[in-house]
Amino acid sequence: MPRLTLEVPAGAAGQRADAFLAQAVPDLSRAAAQKLLESGLVTQNGEKVRKNLRLCGGEQLEVERPPARESRLVAQDMALDIVYEDSDVIVINKPRGMVVHPAAGHEDGTLVNALLAHCGGSLSGIGGEKRPGIVHRIDKDTSGLLIVAKNDAAHQNLSQQLKSRTLSRVYDAVVIGCPREMQGVIDAPVGRSPRDRKKMAVTPQGRRAVTHYQVKAQYEGYAHVRCRLETGRTHQIRVHMAYIGHPVAGDPLYGPKNDRTGLGGQCLHARELSFVHPATGELVHVSCPLPEYFTQFLKKISRGEWYEEV
């Protein structure tokens, strides 16, 4: 079982053990860190460390990580729109409606199933049995670019880039109404909604979330905006745009209940990705065009065929 020794710096004094681990280990999420702590796989001087332990600085933590389990997922030969690929990473233009990884109700037909068929055994195991290679996710009904790691070293490197914000992600969206400011920054913490556990929300208990937006075009009742993520919280753009009063058009969770767009899901597309290549150190920039559902909706609203008030 792989073992990692971490020395807690003085600057981390007062920080919770789970939060420190999530920051100190590149490919470890807060939830995964909590699981390691709860399983007794993090120790100090042979004693189990509690996840809510407040660190003092100067401690030495021993972290054991269970090896990735052999995947029992089925490889499925499905068409993939590959935008970039080499021996370390692959970037996919995910179609709208495709689930990224298996979950309850979606055991197959996912992007992971397709990647297993395309890449064979060349996917990192860090994401876990059901998420091999997956560095970050986009929602089922969000289309666009997603980067996947083919080996553990690439996965660790890209995960660290997500945390250090050298991996840049740009999205296009159609929102209801038009923000008063043509460009701006939404800096509001996002966490699980206290009212509905299926949703995220801007909440003081959430983690810091920052979205930069720019209005590209205005229509009657709508606007085409471009968003750059500074952080990557679950549903961040959808939550943030709804928070400022301009939810993403067609959004079933954060938009108006009487949706009349006919979109059948949020009009949100991951159009650009920039990252430092984990092996070469070179900057890689990839982009993909707007999909048909997006461009068709822009045509409809440009002709004034759709109008909706919040």
Average confidence (pLDDT) over 97-111:
83
**CATH architecture of the domain with range 82-163:** 2-Layer Sandwich (3.30)
Average pLDDT over residues 115-137: 80
Query: What are the residues whose beta carbons fall under 8 Å from the beta carbon of 240, sequence distance 6 or more?
Result: 186, 188, 190, 202, 209, 211
Position 269 pLDDT exceeds 60: yes
Confidence (pLDDT) at 309 = 37
Domains 82-163 and 168-302 share a fold: yes
5 vs 187, more confident? 187
Mean pLDDT over 222-230 rounds to 97
- Residue 26: predicted pLDDT: 67
Instruction: Give the rounded percent of residues in the chain with a pLDDT score beyond 90.
Output: 59
Task: Kindly name the residue from 88, 139, 141, 172 that is annotated as catalytic.
Answer: 139
Mark whether 139 is an active-site residue: yes
Q: What is the pLDDT of residue 306?
A: 47
Indicate if the pLDDT at residue 286 is higher than 90.
yes
State pTM to two decimals: 0.78
d(CA 243, CA 200) in angstroms, rounded, equals: 11
Q: How confident is the model at residue 46 (pLDDT cuts 50, 70, 90)?
A: confident
Q: Please report, for the chain, the start and end positions of each structural domain, with discontinuous segments joined by +.
A: 3-64, 82-163, 168-302
Predicted confidence band of residue 308 (pLDDT cuts 50, 70, 90): very low
**Percentage of the chain lying above the pLDDT 70 cut:** 92
Q: Which of 60, 299, 300, 251 is nearest to 142 (CA)?
A: 251
CATH for 168-302, among 3.75.10.10, 3.30.110.60, 1.20.1560.10, 3.30.2350.10? 3.30.2350.10
Indicate the class that CATH gives domain 3-64. alpha beta
Q: What is the tens place of the pLDDT at every residue in 230-254? A: 999 999 999 999 999 999 999 999 9
